[in-house]
Amino acid sequence: MASPNVTIQDHTEKIKTLARSAFESVRTTLSFLRAYLSARSSLIAADERGEIASWVVVTALVVAAAIVIVGIVTAKLTNTANNIQTP
């Protein structure tokens, strides 16, 4: 049990101090990570070797996805059109 001399205000101040300390630690860590990632990405952005190959792969994946989506939509529309009841 807490001693009678310790007040709620003492606990509140301790919590505030710990929260400030934790916030400063997180802010420092995030600042470091942002600087590190910025430096790494600038090196990657400056190097354009292999850029065409990656764009070809991305484009091929987008085209394949578009073909699959068009096929699914066409099948659903055809199925819905065939299920329309006429009087």
DSSP string, 19-34: HHHHHHHHHHHHHHHH
67 CA to centre of own chain: 27
Domain that holds residue 61: 49-87
pTM higher than 0.75 for the full model?
Answer: no
CA 31/CA 73 separation, integer angstroms: 47
2 in a structural domain: no
Task: Give the three-state DSSP class for 65.
Answer: helix
pLDDT of residue 7: 79
30 in a structural domain: yes
Q: Do residues 53 and 42 share a domain?
A: no
Q: Rg of the chain over CA atoms, in angstroms?
A: 30
Q: What confidence tens digit (pLDDT) does each residue in 23-79 have?
A: 888 888 888 888 888 888 877 666 666 677 778 889 999 999 999 999 999 999 998
In terms of phi and psi (left: phi > 0; alpha: psi -120 to 50; beta: otherwise), the region of 50 is left
